[in-house]
Amino acid sequence: MADDLPLILVSNRGPVQFGLDDAGERTQQRGGGGLVTALSGLVRLLGEGVWIAAALTDEDVEVSREHGDKAFTITDQLDREYLIRMLEIEPDVQHKFYSIIANPLLWFIQHYLWDLSNVPDITGHERDAFEHGYVPVNEQFADVVAQEVEARGGRAVVMLHDYHFYLVPERVRERCPDVFLHHFVHVPWPQPDAWRTLPGWMRDPLIRGLLGNDVVAFHTERYARNFLLTCQELLDLRVDFGELTVRVGDRTVATRWYPISIDAEAFEALADSPEVRAVEKQLEQQRREFLILRVDRTDLSKNVLRGFKAFDTMLEDHPELAERVTFLALLVPSRQDVDEYIEYMDKVRRLAADVNLKHGTTDWQPIDLRFDDDFTQSMAAYKLFDALVVNPIFDGMNLVAKEGSLVNRRDGVLVLSEHAGVYEELGAFAISVHPFDIQDQADALYRALTMDPEERHARRNACARVVRENDLGKWLRMQLEDIERIRG
């Protein structure tokens, strides 16, 4: 950091993941998920700092133990050397923390996904998962963060990430009053009534925990305002919607918003790689006149079902498109240890089958549904779409919209939900859709496929320009500048 304060990064997934190859040799891979990629730009600022994450594989645990469960130096795939520390969490505790409380409980609340007349039930089971899962994992992380801060003389900038760690900041602040705590929440922050789904004994500590920070950051202004509303309404705290601050005792906590992005340059280079071009060629050979694309984790917030229903409606409304269009759905299976996700994938599969049975012919399968985690394939498909469907119910940001708009080669049109965080940046150049309005989405698909080439071109260019301008470097820079300003 600027005046040589060490940086301490905290995220559930770390920058590397250890494993074993077929010969039993240890392997080191890049950590999965978009967040790790985004945070990777902070590595050059780590200096004497450390990146703290959970040990998620057996081999992560092994490596961590070899280093006495302390921090150790790694060399990453970009040949950068820095310290990481991996926390071993008991499997049972990890299950309670991750698969009961963080997902689905908190995730569902923050995306308005609970079917409230039926679920959730907060029973002894959930209470146990909170008290013996979420709380101890947060305590474990907080204590390690505090140790690392103390080892650096008690002063550091700590950047925490996401809904896994809401209790960490308050506990770190108690032990290390001089630390600067910055917490980025990558999911939407819903309005206070959504938090009423949780009883006070769980809800209040979560919000109070987060208020241990100096800055609580979100992707959009709306989430920042919702956070202030939550503090005002549920904890009766004094907030300032002009300054975007909340008063907690004698401290002032700032909320801020920074739309996350991608590394545009690296992404464009990757899109041009031989691997991607090879897959692109295959897809190009399979394609019909029009290609509609979606790329998503199989998350309930992504609204896959209504996307297929809209496609169904479009085919009904426009029989002339029969055999001329494919809806390629590249879905990465997600959280298959959570019942709701298993059921959802099942519904997606059944609906795709129904639509194909209804409209398909001997030679034409309208929806090409692929469940796998193949980034090269996604990248290749990004280059080829005529319409990219990003229709989430609610979504913190949604990077697919940015990725696809950037590398597409056919002036493909972005069909974008009003409720995605990215809408604030790209909405003006996309065709807006309302995520619950099937007819609206069907009309939007048709409009995208039949749009005049000049307009398509202008829109696509505008999207790509915004993505290049607001790229990942800017996202990090703005946060760091604000940290300097707020500390000063």
Residues of the shown chain interacting with a copy of itself in the complex, contacts defined by CB under 8 A: 112-118, 120-124, 127, 190-194, 196-200, 229, 300-301, 303, 305-306, 309, 313, 344, 347, 393-394, 418-419, 434, 436-440
Indicate the residue among 171 and 203 with the shorter CB distance to a copy of itself: 203
Indicate the residue among 113 and 400 with the shorter CB distance to a copy of itself: 113
Instruction: Kindly report the number of other CB atoms within 10 A of residue 453's CB atom.
Output: 8
CA distance 384 to 340: 32
Helix (H, G, I), strand (E, B) or coil at 362: coil
Helix (H, G, I), strand (E, B) or coil at 3: coil
Helix (H, G, I), strand (E, B) or coil at 77: coil
b (16+ CB within 10 A) / e for 47-66 = eebbbbbbbbeebbbebbee
Which tokens is 79 given?
């040949």
Instruction: Show the beta-strand stretches assigned E in 139-289.
Output: 157-161, 180-184, 215-218, 238-240, 245-248, 251-257
* Residue owning tokens 């879905």: 331
Supply φ then ψ for residue 227, to 5 degrees: -65, -45
What is the smallest separation between the CB atom of 422 and a copy of itself, expressed in angstroms? 16
Whether 368 and 329 have beta carbons less than 8 Å apart is answered as yes
Max Cα-Cα span within the chain: 71
Indicate the residue among 17 and 230 with the shorter CB distance to a copy of itself: 230
Indicate the residue among 108 and 290 with the shorter CB distance to a copy of itself: 108
What is the smallest separation between the CB atom of 259 and a copy of itself, expressed in angstroms? 19
What is the smallest separation between the CB atom of 393 and a copy of itself, expressed in angstroms? 5
Indicate the residue among 193 and 481 with the shorter CB distance to a copy of itself: 193
Angle of CA points 387, 397, 418, to nearest 5°: 60
What is the smallest separation between the CB atom of 392 and a copy of itself, expressed in angstroms? 10
Residue 426, C-beta contacts closer than 8 angstroms, at least 6 positions apart:
401, 402, 405, 414, 416, 463, 466, 467
58, amino acid identity:
D
What is the smallest separation between the CB atom of 124 and a copy of itself, expressed in angstroms? 5
Indicate the residue among 62 and 443 with the shorter CB distance to a copy of itself: 443
Indicate the residue among 189 and 327 with the shorter CB distance to a copy of itself: 189
What is the smallest separation between the CB atom of 222 and a copy of itself, expressed in angstroms? 8
State the DSSP string of 142-175: HHHHHHHHHHTTT--EEEEESGGGTTHHHHHHHH
Indicate the residue among 197 and 261 with the shorter CB distance to a copy of itself: 197
Dihedral of alpha carbons 447, 453, 454, 456, sign? positive
The length of the chain is 488
CA distances from 247 to 185, 224, 483 (A): 19, 15, 18
What is the smallest separation between the CB atom of 76 and a copy of itself, expressed in angstroms? 37
Indicate the residue among 15 and 392 with the shorter CB distance to a copy of itself: 392
Indicate the residue among 28 and 191 with the shorter CB distance to a copy of itself: 191
Instruction: Kindly report the number of other CB atoms within 10 A of residue 325's CB atom.
Output: 23
Which tokens is 175 given?
């032990």
What is the smallest separation between the CB atom of 207 and a copy of itself, expressed in angstroms? 16
Indicate the residue among 38 and 351 with the shorter CB distance to a copy of itself: 351
Whether 410 and 385 have beta carbons less than 8 Å apart is answered as yes
